[in-house]
């Protein structure tokens, strides 16, 4: 774990640059994180990010793609359109959450 400066603020990140403190995240930081990986946030991106933030707060875990689709109601195809190639990783990176655990 280390400190990184994002949008002029110091935040905690892991070895891959994922933010590790839920409460350090702000909407402004999300735009910076998105820009880091070449994504410009639209309303459709924000729907996903807000679902991720809310679901993490209630479940304590980053939702998987399947959960975003079945519980969040956002088709998997759209997730690949919004966050190309690696949606699970990219959406959690922007939402300031750990990447989904599911892979064990």
Residues that are catalytic = 103
| DSSP one-letter string for 45-102 | HHHHHHHHHHHHHHHSSPPPHHHHHHTT---HHHHHHHS-S-HHHHHHHHTT-PPP--
Find the shortest distance in angstroms from Cβ 53 to other proteins.
18
Cβ-contact 24, 17 below 8 angstroms = no
Report the C-alpha gap between 71 and 74 in whole angstroms.
8
Residue 37, CA atoms < 13 Å, CB-side half-sphere: 21
Residue 43 lies near other proteins (rule: CB under 8 A): no
**Binding-site residue total for other proteins (CB under 8 A)?**
27
Residue 98 lies near other proteins (rule: CB under 8 A): no
Residue 86 lies near other proteins (rule: CB under 8 A): yes
Nearer to other proteins, 16 or 43 (CB): 16
Residue 65 lies near other proteins (rule: CB under 8 A): yes
Residue 23 lies near other proteins (rule: CB under 8 A): no
Using the rule CB under 8 A, which residue among 29, 74, 93, 96 binds other proteins?
93
Residue 50 lies near other proteins (rule: CB under 8 A): no
């Amino acid at each position: 774990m280390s400190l990184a400066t994002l949008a002029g603020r110091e935040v905690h990140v892991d070895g891959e640059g994922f933010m590790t403190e839920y409460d350090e995240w702000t909407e402004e930081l999300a735009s910076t994180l998105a820009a880091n990986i070449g994504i410009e946030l639209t309303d459709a991106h924000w729907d996903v990010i807000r679902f991720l933030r809310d679901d993490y707060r209630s479940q304590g875990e980053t939702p998987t793609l399947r959960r975003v689709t079945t519980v969040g109601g956002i088709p998997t195809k759209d997730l690949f359109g919004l966050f190309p190639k690696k949606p699970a990783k990219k959406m959690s990176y922007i939402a300031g959450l750990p990447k989904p655990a599911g892979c064990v």
